[in-house]
Amino acid sequence: MTEVRRVVVDTDTGIDDAHTLLYLAGRPDAEIVAVTSVYGNCVEDDAVRNIGYVNALLGLDVPVARGAAGPLSGNPRIARAVHGKDGLGDVGYDRPLPAVIGESAAELLVRLGREQPGELDLLALGPLTNLAQALRLDPELFTRYRSVVVMGGSGPYAAPGTLLMVDANINNDPAAAAEVFAAPRRELVMVGVNVTATTILDEQAIGVLRAAGTPVSRFATEILEAYLDFYQNEWGRRIIPLHDPLAAGILLDPGFATAWVDGPVNVLSDGFLSRARLMRTHDGLPPAFRYTPAPPTRVITAVDAPRFVADFVEVLSR
C-alpha cells in the first residue's frame, strides 16, 4: 500500500504554484492538510485569493492562513511580468477572499508541527518569510516536520562560464532564507533553479493537457499564457519550466532526484542578486573563501526530468 504524505503548502500562489496544488491533489499518495499564503509571484492578497480559487476548483476544504505581505526587511519584489498582475495570468477569474483561520501562517505552521510531530511535510514554494517567522516562534520547528522541502536555491556553484536562472524565492528575502538554512532540522531538501530549469513543459506536453479537456487541465492551460509570454524570451519557444511542481514531485517520490549532495548552504549576495548555494564548487571542492557552518541540507543536483514531466502531465490530464 502506498504511503500517503500529508503536506502543508506555503505558497505565493502564482501559475506554477497553482499547478503544484493541482498536482498534489491529483496524486493518490498526497494529502494537502493546510495552505498558507505569502507574497512573491503576486501580492499576498492575490496569493490568498488564488488559494481560495484553486481549492474551490478542487473541492478542497482545508485550513488557509494568511502570511507575510513582504520580507523581513525592505520592500517585496512582485513578479507581475511573469505571473500577471493577479498571479494567475490575468485571465479574469472571480476570486473572492476565502475563509481564513484566525492564526497567522507562522502560527499555524508552529501549531501543526507541535500537534503532529513527525507526521507532516512542509513544502515551501515562495519567499521563506513565513518559515523564518515561524522559526522565531519555535526554533525547533523543522525538527517537528517529517521533512521540509524548499523550492529555492541554486545548488552548488556552477561550472565556470555557466549562468543560472534567477532564484526569485531566495532573492525576495535573503535574510529569511539564511535563517531557514541555519535552523536545526530533521530533513531539509533544497530543490533549486539548477534542477527545476531542466524540467520543461514543452509544446507537445501542453497540447496533451489542452486535449484532456477536464476542469483541472483546462484551468492549468488557461493560466499559462502570461508564463509562456515570459519564457519565450528565455528560449525562443513557448515552453515553461516546472519549478514548484518539481519540488512537490521530489517530496512525494525522491526517486525523481537522481543525484544530490548533503552539505551546508549559505545565502550570499554578489551585489546584484542573493542566492542560496551549497558551499561546494561544481566538482565537489569547498569554495575559495570562508563560509558560515550550517547543518546539512540535501541539495538536489540532478533529476529525471522526462519521467517527472510525464508524471505531471498524466496527473493533470486525468
Segment 100-149, tens digit of pLDDT: 999 999 999 999 999 999 999 999 999 999 999 999 999 999 999 999 99
Q: Quick one: pLDDT at residue 11? A: 98
Tell me the pLDDT tens digit for each residue of 147-203.
Answer: 999 999 999 999 999 888 999 999 999 999 999 999 999 999 999 999 999 999 999
Q: Is the pLDDT of residue 238 over 70?
A: yes
Q: Cell for 138?
A: 519555535
Bridge partner residues of 37 (DSSP): 11
Q: Quick one: pLDDT at residue 164? A: 86
Whole-Å CA distances, 309 to 165, 204, 291 = 19, 11, 36
Provide the residue ranges of all domains of the chain, joining segments of one domain with +.
Answer: 7-317
**Model pTM greater than 0.85?**
yes
Whole-Å CA distances, 96 to 54, 100, 299 = 12, 12, 38
119: exposed, middle or buried (C-beta count within 10 Å: 0-12, 13-18, 19+)?
A: middle
Tell me the pLDDT tens digit for each residue of 52-110.
Answer: 999 999 999 999 999 999 999 999 999 999 999 999 999 999 999 999 999 999 999 99
First to last CA, the chain: 21
What contacts 269, CB < 8 A, 6 or more positions away? 174, 275
257: exposed, middle or buried (C-beta count within 10 Å: 0-12, 13-18, 19+)?
A: buried
Mean pLDDT of 298-313: 98
Q: Quick one: pLDDT at residue 163? A: 84
> What single letter denotes the amino acid at residue 91?
V
What is d(CA 39, CA 45) in angstroms, rounded to the nearest whole number?
8
Q: Quick one: pLDDT at residue 149? A: 99
Q: Is the pLDDT of residue 1 over 70?
A: no
SS3 assignment, position 295: coil
Mean pLDDT of 267-271: 96
Bridge partner residues of 5 (DSSP): 30
Kindly report the three-state secondary structure assignment for every residue of 221-261.
HHCCHHHHHHHHHHHCCCCEECHHHHHHHHHHCHHHEEEEE
What contacts 316, CB < 8 A, 6 or more positions away? 19, 22, 23, 26, 209, 212, 216, 217, 220
What is d(CA 25, CA 33) in angstroms, rounded to the nearest whole number?
11
What is d(CA 107, CA 118) in angstroms, rounded to the nearest whole number?
18
What is d(CA 281, CA 305) in angstroms, rounded to the nearest whole number?
23
What contacts 214, CB < 8 A, 6 or more positions away? 317, 318
What is d(CA 39, CA 105) in angstroms, rounded to the nearest whole number?
12
Q: Which CATH architecture has domain 7-317?
A: Alpha-Beta Complex (3.90)
Q: Is the pLDDT of residue 254 over 60?
A: yes
